[in-house]
Copies of this chain bind each other. A is one copy, B any other.
Amino acid sequence: MTLQEIGAAAKQASVIMNRMTVNEKNAGLSAVAKALVANASRIIAANDKDIAEAKKNQMSEALLDRLRLTEERIEGMAEGIRQVVALADPVGEVISMKTTPSGLQIGQKRVPMGVIGIIYESRPNVTADAFALCFKTGNAVILRGGSDAIYSNTAICEVIREALQSEGLPADAIQVLQDTSRETAQEFMRLNQYMDLLIPRGGAGLIRTVVEKSTVPVIETGTGNCHIYVDESADIEMAVNIIVNAKTQRLGVCNACESLVIHEAVAKEAIPAICQALYEHQVEIRGDEIARQYDEKIVPATEEDFGKEYLDRIISMKVVPDIDAAIAHINTYNTGHSEAIITKDYGNSMRFLNEIDAAAVYVNASTRFTDGFEFGFGAEIGISTQKLHARGPMGLLALTSTKYIILGNGQIRK
């Protein structure tokens, strides 16, 4: 099939999906969850081919682990889909309806986007997760995964399509691009005729390419150079506790803390305490000149360090003279993801909340909470770091658009 044909098939499926009731969508998702478990061995057999190929290409053990599917992981995928069944469907809600002076009733109704494209890297569980969220909101999805996971993704897609068909639902609600070449990916990013939204999920390079090349509207997800600012009035014990959690609770995630900003008035007390706690977790600290005066094991930071998302046991540290400098530093280097202040001062907490330009701004809490589940959305398609349409964790609502519905009885414009 050509990309045009794939796009047309998705569009056609989306028209049928737009008419589906929540009961029908939930029945489809339940059938899919069941089918994934029932076909686990078939999916694992396909995954084995990807794993064999990846080993031949000397893939690292960490990446192999992300790629590998087991019965337990497939059960996890099915469980994720069952959780989506349990979520409320935002589609169909009429947000507001007003009557104009001439008697027109004007309302705004939530509707599916239509066709959503997702470009992602090697974790094959994204195939099932993304499908479930798109399906629940009445959107057809076209998935372009990495070549590393093509057998796994194709097998998962086939199982889902069969399950949908057996329920009398449109199989083209999900399609996986078989051609994983870069050329096809670039053509995919320009499929405006059929595609309403494109979401890249993956590393900074992938996201940059999609933003650069796509003519379809994009929601930029992810990279997080997240800061914690320890204010003059901070409770140092709380600061240490939150910093350790935000840096070490999980290293490779976008809401992990990558950068510390310390008010100089508390540097003497805070820096040794923070360093000691982080060293216990084998974290390397790269600090500026002033920071290094308080702990000799701090490695000198380069300019590049302050802008870096390490995703590793490394953190940068900057000492500032006041909150203005802290806000300026964070607004210069952050990636618009999650930023926290540790403070007892009301005025400074307000300034931080108002002036930091990011999707999620925290007072006295760990940046690790920026997550669709923690925010109570029940699921997440990604975390938006752009300001258009959706910002922060994206749940089902981010996959919907609106439409004005206007009910009249013959009104014309004067």
Contact = CB atoms under 8 A, between A and B. Distances in A.
A353 interface: yes
Contacts of A212: 215
The residue in A197, A357, A370 that gathers the most chain B C-beta atoms within 10 A of its C-beta is: A357
A363 B238 contact: no
Given A355-B18, A376-B100, A388-B389, A361 B238 contact: no
Interface stretch (A49-57, A149-157, A398-406): A398-406
Interface stretch (A23-31, A176-184, A241-249): A241-249
A192 B211 contact: yes
A345 interface: no
Contacts of A197: 387-388
Interface string A343-385: 0000000000111011111111110111000111000000000
Contacts of A113: 387-388
Contacts of A245: 412-413
A249 B369 contact: no
Interface residues of A, number: 65
Interface of A: 15, 18-19, 98, 100, 104, 106, 108, 113-114, 192, 196-197, 211-212, 215, 217-219, 235, 238, 241-242, 245-246, 249, 331, 353-355, 357-366, 368-370, 374-376, 386-389, 391-392, 401-413
Nearest to A365: B408
A241 to B, nearest CB: 6
Given A212-B215, A375-B106, A392 B410 contact: no
A388 B391 contact: no
B19 A370 contact: no
Contacts of A98: 376
Nearest to A413: B368
Main secondary structure of the interface of A (DSSP, over half): mixed
A412 B238 CA distance: 10
B331 A386 contact: no
Contact of A365 (B215, B366, B406): B406
B242 A410 contact: yes
B404 A249 contact: no
A360 B108 CA distance: 9
A355 B18 CA distance: 7
Nearest to A387: B401
B238 A410 contact: yes
Nearest to A112: B387
The 6 closest A-B CB pairs, nearest first, are: A365-B408, A245-B412, A387-B401, A368-B413, A389-B389, A360-B404
Nearest to A108: B392
Contacts of A246: 412
Contact of A388 (B100, B196, B331, B409): B196
Given A217-B217, A406-B361, A366 B196 contact: no
Given A15-B355, A364-B411, A392-B404, 14 more contacts: A18-B355, A98-B376, A104-B365, A192-B211, A217-B217, A217-B387, A242-B410, A249-B413, A360-B404, A361-B403, A364-B408, A364-B410, A365-B406, A365-B407
Contacts of A218: 217
Contacts of A364: 407-411
